[in-house]
Amino acid sequence: MNVSVVIPLLNEEESLPELAAWIDRVMQANNFSYEVIFVDDGSKDHSWDVIQNLQRENRNIKGIKFRRNYGKAAALNVGFHESSGDVVFTMDADLQDSPDELPEMYRMIIEQGFDLVSGWKKKRHDPVSKTIPTKFYNWSARRMSGIKLHDFNCGLKAYKRAVVKSIEVYGDMHRYIPFLAKWAGFSNIGEKVVHHQKRKFGKTKYGLDRFYKGYLDLLTITFTSRFGKRPMHFFGLWGSLIFISGFIIAGYLAYEKFFNQAFKMTERPLFFFGLLAMIVGTQLFVAGFLGEMVSRSSSDRNNYLIEEMIGLKTT
């Protein structure tokens, strides 16, 4: 199969028939064999009934329904697991992403060899209250991840099949799938300017809370990608440095006390700073040690992504 299109949705009953027909026209025009996987993330309207009707009319359409709302990341993760296309697309169900972009993104994956192609909504039809925080968020993501994308959160993306089968999307990490892909060894990441359309039906499902959540998730994925399997490299290093600085302060004060008889150690604020540094340093070192123990006992501690083998028997 050439193409899988994974579409997470929440209360989008009005847009689904038009979106399904639009995708079908694009696929037929380019002679792609395809499947569309709608993942209903606990909709309270008639979205699932619409999906069932669409599937009866077109067997290329498939559906997954969650019992309750789990979030976009969970919907994408399940959709990735069920997909079977050589190139897997993700797009939103609100008709703001254009299926007309899919053929060119497909060619970028197949012919140009990209592992992942992310859409860039260069001209957005959003209010200033969304565009300014989005620009700051994307700037921060570029600096921390080292991935030169203008629009990390664009729902329209194309993936080589191996990418979606090698990553796990959880929490709210759908914003950082390029980061997860790079972490998994898929570093050939491209970008394509895509058309951003005005919302035709319903209203956005995201509020301002997505910006602070996105920032916290960025810190989380940056830390776990660098130190998830090596917590002692972070906690142990900083714990040791802070403890040593506190120990040096305590040594200096002890020298002044016993050789110069200049003051009582407890009368100097520096004494309490040094004591605090030694305590904090010890706590960080112990945290790193405990993290290392947890990491070494993890069931996936030796799970590595092997791209290819030769001359070996697989079991």
Residue for token digits 């359309």? 197
**Which tens digits make up the pLDDT trace of 213-235?**
666 666 666 666 666 667 787 88
Give the per-residue SS3 of 154-182: CCCEEEEHHHHCCCCCCCCHHHHHHHHHH
- Please report, as a single letter, which amino acid is at residue 279: I
pLDDT of 227 = 66
How confident is residue 47, by pLDDT bands cut at 50, 70 and 90? very high
How confident is residue 44, by pLDDT bands cut at 50, 70 and 90? very high
pTM (two decimals): 0.72
Give the per-residue SS3 of 178-225: HHHHHHCCCCCEEEEECCECCCCCCCCCCCCHHHHHHHHHHHHHHHHH
How confident is residue 241, by pLDDT bands cut at 50, 70 and 90? very high
Q: What is the CA radius of gyration of the chain?
A: 26
Whether 314 has a pLDDT exceeding 60, the answer reads: no
Structure tokens at 247: 């120990």
Residue count (the chain): 315
To the nearest whole number, what is the mean pLDDT of the chain? 84
C-alpha angle with apex 266: 263 to 268, nearest 5 degrees? Answer: 65
As a whole-number percent, the residues of the chain with pLDDT over 90 amount to: 47
How confident is residue 307, by pLDDT bands cut at 50, 70 and 90? low
How far is CA 32 from each of CA 36, 251, 289, rounded to the nearest angstrom?
A: 12, 74, 53
Are 149 and 187 in contact, with CB atoms under 8 Å apart? no
**Which tens digits make up the pLDDT trace of 246-304?**
999 888 888 777 777 666 666 778 888 888 999 999 998 888 888 777 766 655 555 55
Are 281 and 243 in contact, with CB atoms under 8 Å apart? yes
pLDDT of 290 = 83
- Please report, as a single letter, which amino acid is at residue 198: K
Alpha carbon distance 90, 98 (integer Å): 11
Give the per-residue SS3 of 256-294: HHHHHCCCCHHHCHHHHHHHHHHHHHHHHHHHHHHHHHH
Q: Tell me 301's DSSP state.
A: T
The answer for 42, left when phi > 0, alpha when psi is -120 to 50, beta otherwise, is left
**Which tens digits make up the pLDDT trace of 109-140?**
999 999 999 999 887 666 655 667 777 778 87
Q: Which is it for the CA torsion 264, 266, 271, 275, positive or negative?
A: positive
Structure tokens at 10: 């929440």
| Residues with Cβ within 8 Å of residue 181, at least 6 apart in sequence | 115, 116, 159, 163, 166, 167, 189
Whether 236 has a pLDDT exceeding 90, the answer reads: no
Whether 190 has a pLDDT exceeding 70, the answer reads: yes
How confident is residue 63, by pLDDT bands cut at 50, 70 and 90? very high
